[in-house]
Amino acid sequence: MSADRSARLADLADLGARIADCTACPRLVASRRAAADAGAGSYWARPVPGFGDPSARVHVLGLATAPHGGNRTGRAFTGNPTADTLVAALHRAGLANRPTSEHAGDGLRLRGAWMASAVRCPPPGHRPTRAEREACAGWLTAELAALPDVAVVLCLGRLAWEAACDWAGVRPRPRFAHGAEHVLATGPRPGLRLLGSYHPSPQNTRSRRLTPAMLDAVIARAVTVAWSAHPQTPPAPAHRTADP
Ligand code: SF4
pLDDT band at 231 (very low <50, low <70, confident <90, very high): low
End-to-end Cα distance, the chain: 43
Residue nearest to atom 2 of ligand 1 (CA): 136
**Strands in the chain per DSSP E:** 51-52, 58-64, 113-119, 152-156, 181-183, 193-197
Alpha-carbon distance of 152 to 159, in angstroms, equals: 17
Pocket test for ligand 1, best of 136, 140, 141 (most atoms within 8 A of CB): 136
Domain boundary assignment for the chain: 3-226
Once rounded to an integer, what is the mean pLDDT over residues 32-57?
97
| Ligand 1 centroid to residue 159 C-alpha, Å | 16
pLDDT at 44 over 50: yes
Of the options 2.30.130.10, 3.40.50.150, 3.30.930.10, 3.40.470.10, the CATH number for the domain spanning 3-226: 3.40.470.10
Once rounded to an integer, what is the mean pLDDT over residues 155-172?
98
pLDDT of residue 106: 98
pLDDT of residue 242: 42
pLDDT of residue 1: 72
Once rounded to an integer, what is the mean pLDDT over residues 218-234?
88
Q: With pLDDT > 90 as the criterion, what percentage of the chain qualifies?
A: 91
pLDDT band at 53 (very low <50, low <70, confident <90, very high): very high
Alpha-carbon distance of 77 to 137, in angstroms, equals: 18
pLDDT at 241 over 60: no
Taking all residues of the chain, what is their mean pLDDT, rounded to a whole number? Answer: 95
pLDDT band at 235 (very low <50, low <70, confident <90, very high): confident
Residue nearest to atom 4 of ligand 1 (CA): 25
Residue nearest to atom 6 of ligand 1 (CA): 121
pLDDT band at 115 (very low <50, low <70, confident <90, very high): very high
| Ligand 1 centroid to residue 10 C-alpha, Å | 22
pLDDT of residue 3: 83
Task: Return the ligand 1 atom nearest residue 24 CA.
Answer: 5
As for ligand 1, residues whose beta carbon falls within 6 Å of it are: 19, 22-25, 28-29, 47, 119-121, 132, 135-136, 139
pLDDT at 244 over 50: no
Alpha-carbon distance of 16 to 6, in angstroms, equals: 15
pLDDT of residue 238: 74
pLDDT of residue 239: 54
